[in-house]
């Protein structure tokens, strides 16, 4: 009996906590389970196999992943909502993640940026919690970790690792809250994404550009960042000093707003960059910035195509401006 009371308290605590926010160490009822080398009937050894087991219908489904490193690419395309939870003791911090999905595929090998993605989301209403997603290829060419084509998609306390083109925010409404995003060349990029980034840490692992917005017309797309940090990644290559920028315009209508950013990565004083010399692409872009802090920022010398926003101008760029006024109906606001 002495031993029973504390364990009952633990079970009640765990249950209540799981019910209020993300499950973490116990699979939610009805979840399909992924576990390394499992011998339990009905469980799966890979996330791809678990996804393939789900019915192609409109029902809401859940997958729970036990700790481990899974070497695979995963493609999600089912119709109904899907929530994926990585086992963790701390659902609100990527730093405590215990689940990693990884692959080493380049865009050249796969045939496209999208096809090289370690995790490819081509479905609406997907939520992913506490999963590390890596493209381990490293420098040299495009090699995507996350390829995102869904709407109302949320990535929460995940970590994305790549070097060139880590996070492909390609199409659809999507939020990135409390993640880690690492890369160097154009490492957050896409053409038509409507994306909001809040409370993330971006780790710069070499000379390059945090964003490369590929927006091609004056459409509703934008990348809005609020309250993020940009740091030098622990394993950054030498020679990064003075060679990092908030972004450069892949598309002629690139639109990126950084609000309340703490910058400790070794940025160039210009903070923002043209696409390339003699192919600048700056005439129709919007690169907005408000309340950046950090020693490099204090000393900045911005080009004319970057816009320093006033408080009232900055107030127009919000999660609602980025992903739509219905955001509260699909975003897990406990991660804001
Ligand atoms: C799973 O099995 C493989 C092959 O036997 C082994 O190399 C690997 O370490 C195992 N993984 C875990 C997490 O036990
Ligand atoms: C990735 O794959 C390439 C071959 O395509 C290989 O040369 C390289 O060593 C691999 N890198 C890692 C980190 O596995
Ligand atoms: C980076 O520079 C340090 C010190 O200057 C040196 O020890 C290290 O080998 C260099 N690393 C690379 C990858 O060149
Ligand atoms: C500026 O950004 C910092 C860091 O994100 C934040 O603490 C501070 O409140 C912001 N100031 C204003 C005026 O928004
Ligand atoms: C894009 O459209 C908005 C109105 O929706 C307008 O204010 C803005 O000037 C346009 N930008 C460009 C580059 O045409």
What are the tens digits of pLDDT across the range 25-82?
A: 999 999 999 999 999 999 999 999 999 999 999 999 999 999 999 999 999 999 999 9
Residue 56 belongs to a domain: no
Which residues lie closer than 8 Å to 11 by C-beta, 6 or more apart? none
Q: How far is the CA of 225 from the centre of ligand 4 (A)?
A: 13
Residue 328 DSSP code: G
What are the tens digits of pLDDT across the range 131-154?
A: 999 999 999 999 999 999 999 999
277-284 contacts, C-beta under 8 A, 24 or more apart: 281/249, 281/250, 281/251, 281/252, 281/254, 282/249, 283/252, 284/218, 284/252, 284/253
Residue 77 belongs to a domain: no
pLDDT above 90 as % of the chain = 92
Neighbours of 151 (CB within 10 A): 17
Domain carrying residue 154: 100-335
Residue 53 belongs to a domain: no
- Give the pLDDT mean for 76-94: 97
What mean pLDDT, rounded, does the chain reach? 94
Residue 132 belongs to a domain: yes
- The answer to whether the CB of 36 is under 6 A from ligand 1 is yes
**Per-residue model confidence (pLDDT) at position 3:** 38
What are the tens digits of pLDDT across the range 58-72?
A: 999 999 999 999 999
Question: Is 186 labeled as catalytic in the residue annotation?
Answer: yes
Indicate which atom in ligand 1 lies nearest the CA of residue 68. Answer: 13
What are the backbone dihedrals phi and psi of residue 61, each rounded to the nearest 5 degrees, phi first?
A: -130, 160
SS3 breakdown of the chain: % helix, strand, coil, rounded to 5?
Answer: 15, 35, 50
Q: Per-residue confidence at 126, pLDDT binned at 50, 70, 90?
A: very high
Q: What is the pTM of this model?
A: 0.92
Residue 165 belongs to a domain: yes
- 185: domain CATH number? 2.160.20.10
Residue 52 belongs to a domain: no
**Per-residue model confidence (pLDDT) at position 21:** 52
Total domains in the chain come to 1
Pocket test for ligand 4, best of 201, 291, 310, 312 (most atoms within 8 A of CB): 291
Q: Per-residue confidence at 4, pLDDT binned at 50, 70, 90?
A: very low
For residue 199, CA distances in Å to 65, 185, 322 come to: 24, 21, 15
Radius of gyration of the chain (CA): 20
Residue 166 belongs to a domain: yes
What are the tens digits of pLDDT across the range 173-215?
A: 999 999 999 999 999 999 999 999 999 999 999 999 999 999 9
Residue 262 belongs to a domain: yes
Indicate which atom in ligand 3 lies nearest the CA of residue 238. Answer: 1
Above 50 in pLDDT, residue 19? no
DSSP annotation string for 89-150: S-TT-GGG--EEEEE---HHHHSSTGGG-SEEE-SSSEEEES-EEEETT-TTS---SEEE--
Among 219, 286, 234, CA closest to 264: 234
């Amino acid at each position: 009996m002495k031993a029973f009371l504390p364990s009952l308290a633990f079970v009640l605590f765990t249950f209540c906590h799981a019910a209020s926010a993300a499950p973490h160490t116990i699979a939610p009822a009805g979840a399909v389970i992924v576990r390394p080398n499992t011998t339990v009937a009905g469980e799966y050894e890979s996330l791809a196999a678990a996804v393939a087991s789900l019915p192609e219908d409109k029902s809401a489904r859940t997958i729970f992943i036990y700790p481990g490193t899974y070497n695979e690419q995963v493609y999600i395309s089912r119709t109904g909502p899907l929530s994926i939870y990585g086992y963790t003791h701390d659902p609100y911090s990527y730093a405590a993640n215990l689940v990693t999905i990884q692959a080493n595929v380049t865009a050249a090998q796969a045939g496209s940026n999208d096809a090289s993605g370690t995790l490819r989301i081509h479905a609406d209403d997907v939520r992913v919690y506490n999963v590390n997603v890596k493209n381990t290829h490293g420098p040299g060419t495009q090699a995507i970790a996350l390829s995102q084509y869904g709407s109302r998609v949320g990535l929460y306390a995940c970590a994305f690792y790549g070097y060139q083109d880590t996070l492909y925010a390609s199409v659809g409404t999507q939020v990135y809250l409390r993640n880690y995003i690492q890369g160097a060349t154009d490492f957050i990029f896409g053409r038509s994404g409507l994306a909001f980034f809040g409370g993330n840490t971006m780790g710069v692992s070499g000379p390059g550009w945090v964003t490369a917005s590929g927006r091609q017309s004056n459409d509703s797309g934008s990348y809005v960042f609020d309250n993020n940090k940009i740091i030098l990644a622990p394993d950054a290559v030498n020679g990064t000093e003075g060679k990092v920028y908030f972004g450069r315009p892949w598309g002629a209508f690139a639109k990126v707003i950084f609000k309340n950013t703490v910058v400790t990565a070794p940025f160039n004083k210009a903070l923002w960059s043209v696409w390339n010399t003699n192919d600048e692409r700056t005439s129709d872009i919007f690169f907005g910035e408000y309340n950046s802090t950090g020693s490099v920022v204090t000393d900045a010398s911005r080009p004319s195509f970057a816009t320093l926003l006033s408080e009232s101008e900055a107030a127009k760029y919000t999660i609602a401006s980025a992903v739509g006024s219905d955001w509260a109906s699909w975003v897990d606001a406990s991660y804001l």
